Amino acid sequence: MAVTVPSIDKAAPVTYPSPARREREEPAETLLEARGVTFSYPDGTVALNSLSIGIPRGRRVVVLGANGCGKSTLFLHFGGVLRPKSGEIVLDGQPVRYDRAGMTRLRQQVGLVFQDPDSQLFASSVRQDISFGPLNLGWSEAKVRDAVEAAIEATQIGDLADRPAHLLSYGQKKRVAIAGVLAMDPSVIIADEPTAGLDPESTARLVSLFNSLHDAGRTIVISTHDVELALAWADEVVVMRKGELLRTGHPTEVFQDPEVLAGARLQQPIVLETFGHLCHMGYIPTDAVPPRNANELAELIGCHCSPQPSAISSGFDPLRAGQSHHA
């Protein structure tokens, strides 16, 4: 499946494209699910504690939580790398089996991208690395070749295809790791902190790639500590704490829940924090639709905080004027 990725105008400010404004969507069918999953590491650390989480089909989902809350462990269960001590992982309504056939089915449909791309890349060249997964699925040589070329095109790494993977930059390695997963044509792609360590332009390119993959019909699940990205991009956020589900829901609702933010040690996105201050000060109606990025906040300010001509000529800034200067 060929997927094109928009080019980035280096002269333009880098932004995270958010889903178009719309009414709340109807509940989606659950594609991937953890049902009562408990898992402990050999040292006794309980990483997941009777955790139940469903991933809706066709959505962009962001998993949030402090370090050690269980995000990576959950992803390793979704990818079949770890097996629950109790509970089960369910794919398309069927519990995952851990025999050869069950693992082949899971890994063809669920593409897992590790946080550290060096944990995923091992072949002598990029093209060989991307070929590894499809070859293990038993595909024909022609089908493998087509899948690899489609993945290379989708991730825009044609200039890297014949280079040694260990000589690539960190951002390039991340794109190669995604290409290796994409070559198996999964229905869901799960990426553990994919933007960690990337500069803003590389992050924007990666988000654009995820948007293109989503537009092509795939479910995308990522973890991140970037609350601004989660607010702007996600259809749904999942918040974890100490191996348990704290809350799931629409980003603007979850990020305006002070108990959830405190419980998960999350900061409120600056866009929503500023929105809250402006509502409290009377500049924006309290029933306005909460913004999800800086552009939407600017639109709200433009609609409700139009300065008077005298204010413009004097340099008056209503956002710095205090509560005594309500618009």
pLDDT class of 28 with cuts at 50, 70, 90: confident
| Rounded CA separation 209/146 (Å) | 19
Contact by Cβ (8 Å): 207, 195:
yes
Does 23 have pLDDT greater than 60? no
Q: What is the pLDDT of residue 271?
A: 95
| Rounded CA separation 292/1 (Å) | 31
SS3 sequence, the chain? CCCCCCCCCCCCCCCCCCCCCCCCCCCCCEEEEEEEEEEECCCCCEEEEEEEEEEECCCEEEEECCCCCCHHHHHHHHCCCCCCCEEEEEECCEECCCCHHHHHHHHHHEEEECCCHHHCCCCCCHHHHHHHHHHHCCCCHHHHHHHHHHHHHHHCCHHHCCCCHHHCCHHHHHHHHHHHHHCCCCCEEEECCCCCCCCHHHHHHHHHHHHHHHHCCCEEEEECCCHHHHHHHCCEEEEEECCEEEEEECHHHHCCCHHHHHHCCCCCCHHHHHHHHHHHCCCCCCCCCCCCCHHHHHHHHHHHCCCCHHHHHHCCCCCCCCHHHCC
Chain centre to alpha carbon of residue 200: 15
Q: At residue 169, what is the residue type?
A: S
User: What angle in degrees, to the nearest 10, is found between the helix axes of 200-215 and 170-182?
Assistant: 10
| Rounded CA separation 295/297 (Å) | 5
| Rounded CA separation 266/227 (Å) | 8
Q: Give the rounded percent of residues in the chain with a pLDDT score beyond 90.
A: 65
| Rounded CA separation 117/195 (Å) | 12
User: Chain-wide mean pLDDT for the chain?
Assistant: 86
pLDDT, greater one: 92 or 326: 92
Does 246 have pLDDT greater than 90? yes
Contact by Cβ (8 Å): 221, 190:
yes
Q: What is the pLDDT of residue 26?
A: 64
For domain 30-268, the question of CATH label 3.40.50.300 is answered with yes
Q: At residue 189, what is the residue type?
A: I
Q: What is the pLDDT of residue 321?
A: 44
CA nearest to 224, candidates 63, 17, 114, 15? 63
pLDDT, greater one: 28 or 207: 207
pLDDT tens-digit map of 50-80: 999 999 999 999 999 999 999 999 999 999 9
Least confident of 174-178, 303-307, 316-320: 316-320
Q: What is the pLDDT of residue 24?
A: 53
pLDDT class of 253 with cuts at 50, 70, 90: very high
pLDDT tens-digit map of 94-133: 999 999 999 999 989 999 999 888 888 888 889 989 999 8
Q: What is this structure's pTM?
A: 0.84
Q: What is the pLDDT of residue 20?
A: 44
Q: What is the pLDDT of residue 236?
A: 96
pLDDT tens-digit map of 273-300: 999 999 999 899 999 999 999 999 999 9
End-to-end CA, the chain = 52
Contact by Cβ (8 Å): 53, 221:
no
Does 204 have pLDDT greater than 80? yes
| Rounded CA separation 60/111 (Å) | 15
The tokens for 195 are 């933007």
pLDDT class of 325 with cuts at 50, 70, 90: very low
Does 5 have pLDDT greater than 50? no
pLDDT tens-digit map of 130-178: 999 898 888 999 999 999 999 999 888 889 988 988 888 888 899 999 9
- CB neighbours (10 Å) of residue 45? 12
Does 202 have pLDDT greater than 80? yes
| Domain ranges for the chain | 30-268, 272-322
